[in-house]
């Protein structure tokens, strides 16, 4: 764990401490990792330039993709290290565990890489916000467009955890609503090194579409092995959770033509390009993906809420701070304008992207083109379907 103070020390000013809980050593390292921490620091520095009422610090720790480890870190942060807010990184099981502890200690839990819709659904809390995406957003456009294009029969490979289960459930529902059929679902252990048996089973199923409810380094490994087997030429591949770094790792030759949904793309508009220009120098050669941008945006909006509520009140109650976040409209260069719903889900537009071919790409990180835009209402699960008790209340 490391800390970074972003403003000069001052005994007169209270300090808000932000903890980034993520994977810094496993398959999701590139998904958020140190670049995500740097984006959170970028938000703190930008906010500090205009607000003088309190300081802010960013620390981080590795949850090792284990819910019990993540929960223990969060408890230690609250009990002995003065942390006021947690950014929950990749791994839905860890995110749900962190959310439970945050509610218990009345601290804010802000998800930027939590796929499970339960986070703001049946396991919602007044202390939690899910900013960047969830399984509903990932699934909807890709499933509907793929079935529409003729991909009627689906076979899933799903990571055997809350992330994989939620994503497969959400996608299957959209496939069936569009007139498609799910032929099977194989559960894959996290950090698998050999996908051959799963890929052969998918090929033997007679499915038109291989749907991958897999993320991080596992996705890159699976796609590369599928390409080696020639499977990607026989089946349409729907890599449901795809990020900029995945495309970079696998390459345009293998990924070209792939459809996926994101709520952020660096080359989307003038504001996203301006954000990317500011933050890229501190990201060790990478460009920001959706989760990195989420760290920036959710930190910035949280600090706006702290300023509006007052740092003492924010430190006293995470639920009160989240309520203020919901009251304030969101607006930042990464995601533009939006809002946070009563269930804690950030209502933001989502973009159906297609991976470019090598011939279409103009250079490094120019990997995607926007096919369509879903409004914030279209990209988020209807409130009456979430199961969140806050909606009913």
Residue 99's CATH number: 3.40.50.2300
CA distance 173 to 155: 13
Query: Does 366 share its domain with 239?
Result: yes
At 170-228, the pLDDT tens digits run 999 999 999 999 999 999 999 999 999 999 999 999 999 999 999 999 999 999 999 88
Query: Does 144 share its domain with 157?
Result: yes
Residue 84 lies in a domain: yes
Residue 387 lies in a domain: no
Residue 386 lies in a domain: no
Query: Does 248 share its domain with 365?
Result: yes
Task: Find the domain containing 119 and state its range.
Answer: 2-133+268-348
Query: Does 43 share its domain with 122?
Result: yes
Domain count, the chain: 2
Query: What is the secondary structure of 64-95 as a DSSP string?
Result: TT-HHHHHHHHHHHHHHS---EEEE-S-HHHH
Query: Does 233 share its domain with 361?
Result: yes
Of 204, 138, 203, nearest to 172 by C-alpha is 138
At 242-286, the pLDDT tens digits run 999 999 999 999 899 999 999 999 999 999 999 999 999 999 999
Query: Does 102 share its domain with 8?
Result: yes
Query: Does 144 share its domain with 159?
Result: yes
Query: Does 129 share its domain with 26?
Result: yes
Residue 56 lies in a domain: yes
Q: Which stretches of 251-375 are DSSP H helices? A: 252-255, 270-279, 290-309, 311-316, 318-327
Is the pLDDT at 10 greater than 50? The verdict is: no
Instruction: Give the mean pLDDT of 60-81.
Output: 98
Per the CB < 8 A criterion, the answer to whether 95 and 111 are in contact is: yes
Q: State the pTM of this model.
A: 0.92
| pLDDT confidence bin for 233, thresholds 50/70/90 | confident
Query: Does 32 share its domain with 122?
Result: yes
Per the CB < 8 A criterion, the answer to whether 388 and 343 are in contact is: yes
Question: What token pair was written down for 55?
Answer: 């300081």
Query: Does 273 share its domain with 168?
Result: no
At 120-170, the pLDDT tens digits run 999 999 999 999 999 999 999 999 999 999 999 999 999 999 999 999 999
Query: Does 145 share its domain with 245?
Result: yes
Query: Does 278 share its domain with 311?
Result: yes
Residue 206 lies in a domain: yes
């Amino acid at each position: 764990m490391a800390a970074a103070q972003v403003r000069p020390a001052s005994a007169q000013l209270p300090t808000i401490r932000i903890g980034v809980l993520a994977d810094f050593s496993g398959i999701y390292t590139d998904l958020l990792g140190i670049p995500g921490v740097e984006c959170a620091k970028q938000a703190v520095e930008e906010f500090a330039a205009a607000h003088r009422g309190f300081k802010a610090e960013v620390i981080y720790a590795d949850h090792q993709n284990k819910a019990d480890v993540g929960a223990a870190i969060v408890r230690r942060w609250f009990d002995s290290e003065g942390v006021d807010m947690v950014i929950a990184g990749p791994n839905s099981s860890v995110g749900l565990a962190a959310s439970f502890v945050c509610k218990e200690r009345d601290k804010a839990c802000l998800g930027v890489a939590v796929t499970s819709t339960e986070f703001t659904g049946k396991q919602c809390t007044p202390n939690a916000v899910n900013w960047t995406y969830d399984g509903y957003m990932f699934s909807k456009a890709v499933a509907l467009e793929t079935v529409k294009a003729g991909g009627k029969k689906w076979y899933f490979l799903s990571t055997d955890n809350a992330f994989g289960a939620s994503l497969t459930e959400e996608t299957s529902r959209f496939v069936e609503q569009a007139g498609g059929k799910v032929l099977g679902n194989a559960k894959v252990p996290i950090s698998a090194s050999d996908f051959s048996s799963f890929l052969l089973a998918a090929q033997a199923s007679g499915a038109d579409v291989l749907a991958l409810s897999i993320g991080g380094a596992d996705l890159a490994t699976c796609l590369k092995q599928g390409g080696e087997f020639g499977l990607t030429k026989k089946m349409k591949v729907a890599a449901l959770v795809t990020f900029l770094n995945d495309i970079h790792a696998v390459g345009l030759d293998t990924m070209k033509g792939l459809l996926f949904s994101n709520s952020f793309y660096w080359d989307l508009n003038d504001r996203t390009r301006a954000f990317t220009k500011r933050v890229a120098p501190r990201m060790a050669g990478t460009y920001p993906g959706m989760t990195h941008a989420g760290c920036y945006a959710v930190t910035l909006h949280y600090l706006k809420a702290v300023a509006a509520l007052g740092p003492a009140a924010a430190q006293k109650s995470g639920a009160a701070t989240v309520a203020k976040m919901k009251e304030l409209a969101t607006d930042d260069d990464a995601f533009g304008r939006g809002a946070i719903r009563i269930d804690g889900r950030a209502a933001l537009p989502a973009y159906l992207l297609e991976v470019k071919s090598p011939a279409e790409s103009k250079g490094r990180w120019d990997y995607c083109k926007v096919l369509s835009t879903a409004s914030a209402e279209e990209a988020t699960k209807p409130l009456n379907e979430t199961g969140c008790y806050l909606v009913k209340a």
